[in-house]
Amino acid sequence: MKKVELEIVGMSSGVSQSQNAAVVLGEIDGRRRLPVIIGHAEAQAIAVAIERLHSARPLTHDLIKNMLETFHIDLKEVVINNLVDGIFFSRLICWKDGDLYEVDSRTSDALALAARFHCPIYTYEFILETAGIELEEAEAPRPRKKGRQPATKTATLSTYPVEALHKLLDEVLIAEDYERAAQIRDEIRRRQDQG
């Protein structure tokens, strides 16, 4: 399967019932975005790495990075390799002494480590087709320019788990995109009426 390279383009924290947040991954040189719902603590771990903040004592992901470097293990890439029932699965692709190792990881932890190692993040086409959001033409990104861009618009809402719909609703309300918010609200209500 062909891998699609992504980069972290934004993060948002929920303003509703849960303590979750979303990290938004953007397709490099493309218009698709992949929102991934993660816990608040994991979002902070990613934000600390992106903002290059340092604490007096190493945080968990800094400790893991220090251990890998101490034992001469290089994190070459992160691959978001599956999506099951709205949950993303990831692998850490590591290199040591000429041997390649794959390690199972929560996606939030994999992204926190990718931000620290500055290594590439990949996924597969079927994951972007299932859970990705395509930016509208006017919002198409400039080629390979790193930076934050808001997560937006047109994806089939029926492919999202309910929790992701609530997070997406929070994002579009913050962006004051009330038309999209109404679409998301209607999808949430439709599911509540069904079950």
> What is the spatial distance between Cα 193 and Cα 178, in angstroms, rounded to a whole number?
22
In-domain check, residue 186: no
DSSP lists the bridge partners of residue 75 as 94
Give this prediction's pTM. Answer: 0.69
Share of the chain above pLDDT 70, in %: 81
Look up the domain containing 103 and give its range: 3-150
Classify residue 156: in a domain, yes or no. Answer: no
**Domain total in the chain:** 1
Is it the case that residue 182 has pLDDT exceeding 90?
no
Query: DSSP strand E in 14-162: where?
Result: 20-27, 32-39, 74-84, 87-96, 99-106, 121-124, 133-134
Query: How high does pLDDT run on average in the chain?
Result: 83
Asked whether residue 184 is assigned to any structural domain, the reply reads no
What's the CA gap between 77 and 96, in Å, rounded?
13
For residue 44, the domain's CATH number is: 3.10.690.10
What confidence tens digit (pLDDT) does each residue in 25-40 have?
999 989 999 999 998 8
155 within some domain: no
Instruction: Find the mean pLDDT for residues 130-145.
Output: 67
> Would 173 be classed as within a structural domain?
no
- Per-residue CA distances from 9 to 50, 66, 74, 112, 128 (Å): 10, 25, 24, 14, 15
Which position has the higher pLDDT, 181 or 64?
Answer: 64
**Cα(130)–Cα(58) distance, integer angstroms:** 37
Answer whether 168's CB lies under 8 Å from 19's CB: no
Residue 190 forms part of a structural domain: no
What is the rounded distance in angstroms from the CA atom of residue 12 to the CA atom of residue 55? Answer: 22
With respect to residue 165, please indicate whether it lies within any of the assigned structural domains.
no
161: in domain: no
155, β-bridge pairs: none
pLDDT over threshold 80, residue 88 = yes
CA distance 195 to 122: 35
Supply the pLDDT for residue 150.
37
pLDDT at 187: 81
